[in-house]
Amino acid sequence: MEKVIVYGAALVSAFLFTLVLTPLVRALNRALGMVDRPDPRRINKIPIPRGGGIALFLGVQFSVLFMWLLYGKELALFANPYFRKMAVLAAAMCIIGLADDKFSLPPKVKLLGQILVAVLAWAWGGVGFRSSFPSLPAWLDAFFTVFWIVGAVNAFNLIDGLDGLASGLALIATIGMGGSLFFLGIPDSAIFYFIFAGGLLGFLRYNYNPASIFLGDSGSMYIGFVIAVLPLCTHQAGDSFLVSVGVPLLAMGVPIFDTSLAIVRRSIRRLILRNSADGAGRVMTADSDHLHHRILRTMGLNQKKTAWTLYAFAAFLVGVGLLGMILKSRAGGLWLLAITIATIIIFKDIYRVELFDAGRLLNSVARDHTVKTRRKVAMLAVPIYIACDVIALSLISLVMCWMWARDIDVRVLRTLVPIRVFSVFACLAFFKTYRTIWSRAMLSNYLRLFVACFIGSMIGGVIIYYISPMAIRDWMSFNCGYALASVLALSSIRMVRIVLRDLLYAIDSARLVGRKDVSRILVYGSGLRYRSFRRELVRTATANSRIIVGILDDDLVLKGKYIGGIQIKGTLLEAPEIINSLNVDSVVIACEIDGRWMKVVKDTLGPTGVKVSYFNLAETEIM
């Protein structure tokens, strides 16, 4: 009961101090001009004071002082050797953020300050991962500690773009990490978690939508620093990875994921726009593609519902970590389920932005027809194919040995695998497969690849048979299996470009489908001309403003079937109803029709008022 009173006093005192201090800081910051004014990237519609992190910091520190006056050194908090130093460094981080709130520091200066504080936390403060991993070299421990702290600081800094989002996620993370100490059997070390949670609750009263004050960099950087160093200060030597790193990592899952995406997204855009005169595309340039921006756009939720959506996901991750601590060795299935769910959510989130931007980058490189670029591509194409082929053939050899229950010893690695790989590779070179432009390959080219793999496999098999005799049945089945696997693997390598092109078109279509400024096309014809027309759209996917929403074909047997993911909706006579139901903007005729049938097409489509064009592939004599 006494401990409950202590925890309650810690939580309530921090809550009350922050609750009282926040309006005072809000008025002061407004007077100092520290205000977030509306702009295209920001969500707030009216000027709102920032820099509220000072109120959170002071509320927490006053609560700590209050607890010291009440209980003195009886609390484990004040016996912790790290605590005072971390309090000083947290104040330094908060001051750096406050300077940015007031003077808008250059990003590199702010980052340098964060790194300096993180280095001091390791060198002077003594925190790090070495207490949990004693064998970790000092330089590696320093790198991981600085990376961990700076990463957490910037994760909360970047996620702070919605009313109450960063402070709410921090509250969930604090509860999760404090709860892990109870499961670990050291609840006395959780006292600061109660203080910090109380401060966050007090600040949320004013920061929750509609917010009257923002955390600012002073608050988000302070929160990130505290949440990063708390598990390093409170865990003990011998703690499991899940307690010292796993639960904190899951607790910060949403901010870390958002930050990782931001780095990838901005790096790709920097490469795309590297020649931009206005400096667009820099990694540190803010954008409006964070998680909360996407949820607001795609799901049509308001700020409160968007924040609660991310709260729920963060709580799920924390729950997985805590449940994993309870289940211990039986947690494998739980982690597998969590990883599966997270993978689905991640892919749904990134495929319209990061994957699309990656496609834009690949497309810009592929379509750069300057002599310098083409020369580089020509020089790299064959070595890349050779390297991929050698790796694939080597892996196939090892897998085949495992499937045939043969021991993979030094002799296999030094003799049998190289012989098979070299035999097939020699035949690939002899049949001139490396002179083929595989992006324009035909069936004959793949037949040549098959013959090369088959003959190479048999030659390698004969050589190995006389070096290491096997039963004839095993010899034949092994070599036939190796030849077939080689053909499939090498063909797959050569079809990667085609698959990537179609994947980029599918991503582009998914991105465009919900936009109102996109032209929706209905194609008449599903034969070779349709495929040629679709290929043209695929080739220009990343610069496209048109999307195929359906196909018309007069073959009744094809109705309802799919070609390349696009459904055949019906015949020409059904076009008016289909155009109306699919909100079609234009019809493209992609089949050969004579003058009589063209008149039927015009009579049928004319009343609909949509634009009609004819995609024609024809030989025209010019001399």
Mean pLDDT of 605-613: 90
**318-322, 524-528, 548-552: range with lowest mean pLDDT:** 318-322
Q: Which residue has the tokens 């499937």?
A: 403
Q: What is the mean pLDDT of residues 106-135?
A: 88
How many helices and strands (H and E) does the chain possess? 25, 8
Quote the pLDDT of residue 438.
Answer: 79
Which has the closest alpha carbon to 235: 221, 245, 249?
A: 245
- Residues 572-588 have pLDDT tens digits of 989 999 999 988 989 99
Instruction: Write down the pLDDT at residue 384.
Output: 82
Mean pLDDT of the chain: 80
Residues 6+ apart with CB under 8 A from 346: 257
Taking the C-alpha atoms of residue 484 and residue 500, their distance in angstroms, rounded to an integer, is 24
Quick: pLDDT tens for 201-235: 999 999 998 889 999 999 999 999 999 998 888 65
Q: Comparing 200-209, 427-436, 511-520, 601-610, which segment has the lowest mean pLDDT?
A: 511-520
pLDDT score recorded for residue 278: 44
**Residue whose token pair is 């050569």:** 494
pLDDT(378) > 60? no
Across the range 593-598, mean pLDDT stands at 86
- pLDDT, position 94: 95
Most confident segment among 36-45, 240-249, 599-608: 599-608
Measured CA to CA, the distance from residue 444 to residue 545 in angstroms comes to 36
Task: Check pLDDT > 80 for residue 612.
Answer: yes
CA angle 377, 378, 379 (to 5 degrees): 90
SS3 of 378-444: the string is HHHHHHHHHHHHHHHHHHHHHHHHHHCCCCCCHHHHHHHHHHHHHHHHHHHHHCCHHHCCHHHCCHH
pLDDT at 179: 84
Mean pLDDT across 415-419: 83
Average pLDDT in the 444-473 region?
81
* Residue 316 or 132, more confident: 316
- Whole-model pTM: value is 0.66
366 confidence band (pLDDT: 50, 70, 90)? low
pLDDT at 14: 95
Instruction: For residue range 123-152, list pLDDT tens digits in order.
Output: 998 888 877 777 788 889 899 999 999 999
Top-confidence residue, 413 or 100: 100
Domains of the chain: 2-350 (no CATH), 371-494 (no CATH), 516-614 (3.40.50.720)
Q: Looking at per-residue confidence, does 153 or 182 come out higher?
A: 153
